[in-house]
Structure 1
Amino acid sequence: MSKSRHIAENFKVGALLTLVGGYLDTYTYISRGGVFANAQTGNIVLMGLKLKGGEFAEAIHYLIPILSFVAGVLLVELIKSRFNDDPKVHWHQLTLALEMLIVIAVAFIPESHNNIANVLVSLTCAMQVEGFRRLNGNAYATTMCTGNLRSGSESLFAYLKTRDITQKQKALQYYGIILIFIAGAVIGAVLTGLIGIKAVLVCLAGQAGALLVLRTYKTPDDKAAE
């Protein structure tokens, strides 16, 4: 890994958070009222369908996680602006620690208050996608696959055309992240079916692992990494 890159771009961090991202999407869809925590495009489409049918109360059901996602992005930018130059704690670590606290809270929200749970999960996903969006110098997402699929396919074409080994590595990296997301979704579906709403606590293992990587490795200067 280049010295100019922050440890938050490490593949281990990306893999663990992508696993969490896939897990949370199936968790909310299965146990929290058919809402996607990460894929806001899906929620927007579903909201549009409800508006067309005049089901305005149901439309609000999908609007809530969308607005929460926006709030999560704003929150991470606020944390970043406040702690970016703090020598004691990096904003990546603080963001991840806050996400873990939110996940714990979600586990104890009953199904009768699924809207609140979805707000918090969408908030968490927005924080993750905004705070961790580069992998070994390349833009990516830990909570959705469309952009990763496009970038991976673009790199694959470049490799087939030029035989540039760097492009091959980028393509494999993107496709690897997509497979990890799928694995997270499968695990989330299985465990949510078995455990129910408390299954969200399993995400703490992935988040804690990512936080451990962030705290264990020596990080370069943040300004250079930005």
Structure 2
Amino acid sequence: MTTLRQTGFPAHEELLLGSGLTAVVGALDAYTYLEHGAVFAGFQTGNLLLLGLNFGRLQLAEMGRYLTALLAFGIGIGLVQGLQHLLAKRQWDSQNVALWLDFSVLILVLATTDVVPNWVATALLSLAAAVELEGFRELLPNRNPRDMATTLLAVGHFRDRDARQRAKNGLAVMGSFALGAVLVAAFSKLLAGYTVLVPILLLAGLIFWQYQQNHRRKWKH
């Protein structure tokens, strides 16, 4: 089911953080699709589909961009898992490190816009998406329309309160994904390659918000 998982955060913070992170992923996918050759940063199923379509049409030269995204995403997953293992021994917060690593990669993409070729930018952005999705996998639900449909059906037919709450959470998160894409589309004509500023600003807002929440909890204790 599409639901936010328990991670030690209060429920409302889980929903806000999960929605914010999903908006960043939506913005990254929209940005790479519009500005870097119709490739997705995080939606690797979409890249596999497009890879298959190009292979079926024997458009072999076009396949490289999708292979690059898939490879970079896999490297990002491995990087995060290695960092989590290393940081656990030192009792550091791996999610904070993931946020800052993600932010640093996006800043690098912004700084090298119009300098590096598309495949390099795509690789960096796919790595950034992998860092976020793997680093916060407990907070980021599957954006699966089938799961959402099942949840909504449970609400309509069984008046299930838990299902109703899951549906609200799922709609909030899926809506956030769409919002990230909408923001990128709205600014893409004005900013072109620099539209990566949209996910950067969203991520900066999340970092600031999480810092405030952590500071508030420490102050209470």
1:50-104 per-residue CA deviation (whole Å, 9 max, x = no partner) reads 22233222112211101111111111111111112534x3000001100001001
Partner of 1:134: 138
- Shift, 1:164, TM fit: 2.2
CA distance in 1, matches of 2:7, 2:116: 44
Q: For structure 2, which runs of at least 5 residues remain unmatched after alignment?
A: 1-5, 216-221
What code does the residue aligned with 1:7 have? F
- Note closer, same or farther for the CA distance 1:200–1:25 as it changes in structure 2 (3 Å cut): same
Asked whether the 8 Å contact 1:7–1:217 carries over to 2, the reply is no
TM-score normalised per structure 2: 0.85
Pairs aligned (count):
207
Determine whether 1:154 maps to 2:158: no
3-state SS, counterpart of residue 174 of structure 2: helix
1:33-52 equivalences in 2 (<5 Å)? 33-52=37-56
1:189-220 per-residue CA deviation (whole Å, 9 max, x = no partner) reads 1112210111202322221222233333349x
- Note closer, same or farther for the CA distance 1:159–1:170 as it changes in structure 2 (3 Å cut): same
CA distance in 1, matches of 2:178, 2:133: 17
Determine whether 1:70 maps to 2:74: yes
What code does the residue aligned with 1:24 have? L
Q: For structure 1, which runs of at least 5 residues remain unmatched after alignment?
A: 220-226
Partner of 1:118: 122
Q: Which moved more, 1:151-160 or 1:25-34?
A: 151-160
What code does the residue aligned with 1:42 have? G
Determine whether 1:184 maps to 2:188: no
3-state SS, counterpart of residue 70 of structure 2: helix
1:190-209 equivalences in 2 (<5 Å)? 190-209=186-205
TM-score normalised per structure 1: 0.83
CA distance in 2, matches of 1:174, 1:165: 14
Asked whether the 8 Å contact 1:159–1:165 carries over to 2, the reply is yes
Instruction: Give the alignment's Cα RMSD to 1 decimal.
Output: 2.2
Asked whether the 8 Å contact 2:68–2:119 carries over to 1, the reply is yes
CA distance in 1, matches of 2:8, 2:208: 14
Partner of 2:218: none
Partner of 1:103: 106
CA distance in 1, matches of 2:203, 2:194: 16
Q: Please point out which of 86, 90, 93 is paired with 1:90.
A: 93
Partner of 1:14: 18
Q: Please point out which of 25, 31, 40 is paired with 1:27.
A: 31
- Shift, 1:157, TM fit: 2.4
